[in-house]
Amino acid sequence: MSFEGYNVEVRDRVKCISGVEGVPLSTQWGPQGYFYPIQIAQYGLSHYSKNLTEKPPHIEVYETAEDKDKAGRSAEWMVPKGCSLSTVPDKAKFTSVKQFVAPENTEGVSLQLGNSRDFIISFDLKFVTNGSISVVLETTEKNQLFTVHYVSNTQLIAFKDRDIYYGIGPRTSWSTVTRDLVTDLRKGVGLSNTKAVKQTKIMPKKVVRLVAKGRGFLDNVTISATAHMAAFFAASSWLVRNQDERGGWPIMVTRKLGEGFKSLDPGWYSAMAQGQAISTLVRAYLLTKDHTFLSSALRATAPYKLPSEQHGVKAVFMNRHDWYEEYPTSPSSFVLNGFMYSLIGLYDLKETAGEKLGKEARVLYERGMESLKAMLPLYDTGSGTIYDLRHFMLGTAPNLARWDYHTTHINQLQLLSTIDEAPIFKEFVKRWKSYLRGGRAKHN
């Protein structure tokens, strides 16, 4: 799938990238914001794909706490009265680090950066007290300075005057903070209480300096054009941490699919979320060989086996065809694109886990593929495709797929045709592509 074309963080229904969790917070179905596993998996998969398709970024190193950095220059720190900065050895990291002491009522110790080219900042951080790391940006807004503050609390995001605040949690043990300053600036300035972030044209022109306050330690301050693997592993780790005991990622917001369907109460699972999460976790496992990721992916098959009414995602069409529901509604909705994503996840898992561990995923995948081959014709209008089967289940008008969903259907079938040689996939891809050019099925 062409996930390298996805840019999840710029979507107006993404409130921001959480400073504590490092993943997007969605407002699509609730302005208060919630973590949406599908969006988080897509965030991870998009950065994974971009890492494969883009050339490695230039990384500018500003501080390593060694005498001089790789460019042979000393870091430019400013230490005002009442503050201190020293280089100390750190046993946990087996290297020297910078120790800072800068009370809240001071200007803080600052490191000059002056980067006008790239806007992804990364640093290793450990606080001893409450504190903050702030990044001063010169912007396109009449060259005004805006400051993004990363603070040792759990506040999601705030914006006042020209200051933007993100809580990053206490950070009392070493961790790496990686932030996209373009996204953080624009989400802050565009902050609203509605479902969508306000549109803004503001952009950073220069990363001026970093300012540390409180007491703590800093190391490895860098700026780069991209940090795709940091984003990918933030998503993968979130999925491991937030999987529940049933193997699912509960979606904690009410969802009403349409007239005639009962609302899904908070805590529902989505087969599309399960599938895309599996695809993310499998890739994290293949990169690290850390079995935590594979174990999480294997547990994620459990909701596929349970009917929707038993808190699973399985529906059965006409008492014969197993279907994994993107929205486990009552009555069943049979959304096509979400089902195919759920199958792609099962395929990734069965191929990675091997014969024994992957047996359950293989059985679920094979049953699903049989259903897809039998039911694909139901989604063909002769001039486009259908999003779901509500017209059959509810007796209403069909829910026609928008062209972007129609294109997704084609892309998914093209991918499935490379792993299953059944002629139906190639035939449908050819016909559905013709609809994009105004093609129509024959009439009588």
When the pLDDT of each residue in the chain is averaged and rounded to a whole number, the result is 96
Give all domains of the chain, ordered by start, each with its CATH number: 1-54 (no CATH), 58-225 (2.60.120.430), 243-436 (1.50.10.10)
Distance CA(216)–CA(150), nearest Å, equals: 14
Query: pLDDT tier at 73 (50, 70, 90 boundaries)?
Result: low
Distance CA 151, CA 380 (A): 52
pLDDT band at 75 (very low <50, low <70, confident <90, very high): confident
The pLDDT of residue 68: 59
Residue 67 pLDDT = 61
Percent of the chain at pLDDT exceeding 70: 98
Mean pLDDT of the region 241-248: 99
Cα separation, 408 vs 71, whole angstroms: 46
Using 50, 70 and 90 to split pLDDT, how confident is the model at 65? confident
* 304-334 confidence digits (pLDDT tens): 999 999 999 999 999 999 999 999 999 999 9
Quote the pTM value. Answer: 0.96
How much is the pLDDT for 23?
Answer: 99
pLDDT digits (tens, 9 = 90+) for 358-408: 999 999 999 999 999 999 999 999 999 999 999 999 999 999 999 999 999
99 to each of 93, 134, 217, 272, 364, how far by Cα in Å? 14, 16, 4, 46, 54
The pLDDT of residue 272: 99
What's the mean pLDDT in 437-441? 97
Q: Please report the pLDDT score of residue 193 as a whole number.
A: 85
Beta strands in 318-427 (DSSP E): 321-324
Long-range CB contact pairs, 65-68, < 8 A, 24+ = 65/95, 65/96, 65/97, 65/98, 65/218, 65/219, 66/95, 66/96
| pLDDT confidence of residue 4 | 86
Q: Measured between alpha carbons, how far is 372 from 429 in angstroms, rounded to an integer?
A: 14
Instruction: Please determine, for residue 1, whether its predicted confidence score (pLDDT) is greater than 80.
Output: no
Question: What is the tens place of the pLDDT at every residue in 84-124?
Answer: 999 999 998 999 999 999 999 999 999 999 999 999 999 99
pLDDT digits (tens, 9 = 90+) for 163-219: 999 999 999 999 999 999 999 999 999 998 888 999 999 999 999 999 999 999 999
Would you give the DSSP letter of residue 208? E
| 65: Cα within 13 Å, side-chain hemisphere | 22
Decide if pLDDT at 267 tops 60: yes
- Quick one: pLDDT at residue 313? 99
